[in-house]
């Protein structure tokens, strides 16, 4: 079978659901499959999957000895051949009258957004990169690491929002989400994942 | 070059950038570079778009339209970012391949939206001041399958729950990214 003897196909004329595809591999085997089967395999760009998670901090987790966490379990979510990006948004509801005008932009708003955070892992890598207002942090898949998610300015001081990032090849978990030094702000946290597994 | 054709033992050793595909198309056999074939067909189904709208007490509309974007094997993520002087809570709409419904994430939480229906007005964002002036940004979301599938936010407007609103004008930047896969 001579490839050079074949006419070239205009790719826009192909019908993935009907056309059979013949493959010549390095091992000199010529094989066939339906185009759509090939398109769904892992070595080509994949169909994205989307996931939401929400978490509410309504009391001081550490003072109450609670573990406020969000987790996502999905087969091969963090495998080397997968990639994902997660955007995390933080909504604070100031339900206490403890603020002063020195607290800046939060003085007028009762519900406010904190600086958001993004987390991603690239295809072929086992490193999870966290980008937040604190800068860039890197964690390895399979490890547990304290990370800074965001921060809030209150009473002339910044209070960090932190958690422990726990990961396996099939799951990612944000453990012990809390403000530093036992501070408490009612906060809703929305996680949006876009993954290519 | 081998003469026999057998099932491919595994796709793990297959490199789209270095192999050729032979395609049997309309009774003829053609050759094509694997990566060109795969990437071009992928690009054909990609859909990226953006919309912008001012939001006042008068209703406005945002919409995205694309063939097959609501088909069972299609997926997309649409984000609705609201702002005035400050950034307000966003709303995010997703559909996964294999799902016949969408999920909406707002500051109030997560809810399912049925394809083929128009939702009741939904609070998509909010701005509340310390003196209890509160204004919501609401809209109804329609997911309609047609010749061109439609993702439409109608009745997008400001609703104040206090005598004096906390907002008189806001803006919405909407973005969508997805794969529109023909499931017919």
- pLDDT one-digit tens code per residue, A27-65: 555 666 666 666 655 444 567 899 999 999 987 666 667
Distance CA B48, CA B178 (A): 7
In this predicted model, what pLDDT tens digit does every residue of A173-183 receive, in sequence order? 999 999 988 78
User: Are residues A110 and B4, on separate chains, in Cβ contact within 8 Å?
Assistant: no
* Range of lowest pLDDT (A176-185, B39-48, B121-130): B39-48
Across the interface, which of B7, B12, B29 has its CB nearest the CB of A31? B7
pLDDT band at B7; cut points 50, 70, 90: low
B36: buried, middle or exposed (CB in 10 Å: 19+, 13-18, 0-12)? middle
B160: buried, middle or exposed (CB in 10 Å: 19+, 13-18, 0-12)? middle
User: Are residues A112 and B86, on separate chains, in Cβ contact within 8 Å?
Assistant: yes
Q: Is the pLDDT of residue B180 over 60?
A: yes
| CB proximity A65 to B under 8 Å | no
Across the interface, which of A89, A105, A192 has its CB nearest the CB of B86? A105
Residues 6+ apart with CB under 8 A from B91: B79, B80, B82, B104, B105, B106, B124, B125
Distances (CA, A) of B56 to B50, B106, B171: 20, 19, 9
Q: Is the pLDDT of residue B174 over 50?
A: yes
Tell the residue number behind the tokens 């109804």, with chain if given: B140
**% of chain A residues with pLDDT over 90:** 45
Distance CA A39, CA B37 (A): 9
- Predicted ipTM? 0.73
Q: Which of A12, A87, A32 is nearest to B24 (CA)?
A: A32
* Range of lowest pLDDT (A149-153, B104-108, B142-146): A149-153
Residues of A in Cβ contact (< 8 Å) with B128: 109-111
Query: Are the C-beta atoms of residues A154 and A103 closer than 8 Å to each other?
Result: yes
Beta-bridge partner residues of B173 = B52, B81
């Amino acid at each position: 079978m001579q490839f050079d003897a074949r006419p070239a196909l205009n790719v826009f004329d192909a019908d993935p659901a009907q056309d059979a595809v013949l493959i010549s591999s390095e091992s000199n085997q010529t094989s066939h499959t339906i185009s759509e089967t090939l398109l769904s395999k892992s070595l080509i760009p994949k169909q994205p999957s989307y996931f939401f998670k929400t978490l509410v901090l309504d009391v001081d987790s550490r003072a109450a000895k609670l573990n406020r966490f969000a987790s996502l379990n999905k087969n091969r979510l963090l495998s080397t051949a997968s990639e994902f990006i997660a955007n995390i948004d933080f909504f604070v509801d100031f339900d206490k009258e403890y603020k002063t005008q020195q607290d800046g932009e939060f003085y007028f708003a009762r519900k406010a957004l904190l600086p958001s955070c993004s987390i991603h892992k690239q295809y072929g890598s086992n490193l999870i990169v966290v980008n937040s207002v604190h800068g860039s942090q890197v964690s390895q898949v399979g490890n547990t690491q304290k990370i800074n998610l965001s921060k809030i300015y209150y009473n002339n001081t910044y209070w960090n929002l932190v958690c422990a990032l726990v990961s396996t090849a099939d799951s990612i978990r944000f453990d012990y989400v809390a403000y530093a030094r036992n501070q408490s702000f009612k906060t809703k946290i929305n996680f949006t994942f876009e993954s290519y597994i | 070059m081998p003469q026999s054709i057998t099932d491919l033992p595994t796709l793990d050793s297959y490199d789209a950038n270095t192999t050729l595909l032979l395609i049997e198309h309309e009774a003829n056999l053609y050759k094509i570079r694997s990566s060109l074939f795969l990437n071009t067909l992928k690009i054909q189904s990609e859909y990226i778009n953006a919309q912008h709208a001012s939001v006042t007490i008068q209703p406005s509309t945002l919409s995205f339209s694309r063939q097959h974007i609501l088909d069972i094997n299609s997926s997309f993520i649409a984000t609705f970012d609201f702002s005035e002087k400050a950034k307000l809570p966003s709303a995010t709409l997703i559909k996964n391949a294999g799902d016949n419904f969408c999920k909406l994430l707002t500051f109030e939480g997560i809810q399912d939206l049925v394809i083929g229906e128009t939702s009741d007005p939904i609070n998509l964002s909010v701005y509340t001041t310390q003196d209890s002036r509160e204004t919501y940004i609401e809209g109804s979301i329609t997911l309609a399958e047609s010749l061109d599938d439609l993702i439409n936010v109608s009745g997008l407007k400001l609703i104040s729950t206090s005598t004096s609103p906390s907002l008189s004008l806001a803006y919405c930047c909407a973005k969508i990214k997805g794969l529109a896969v023909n499931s017919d």
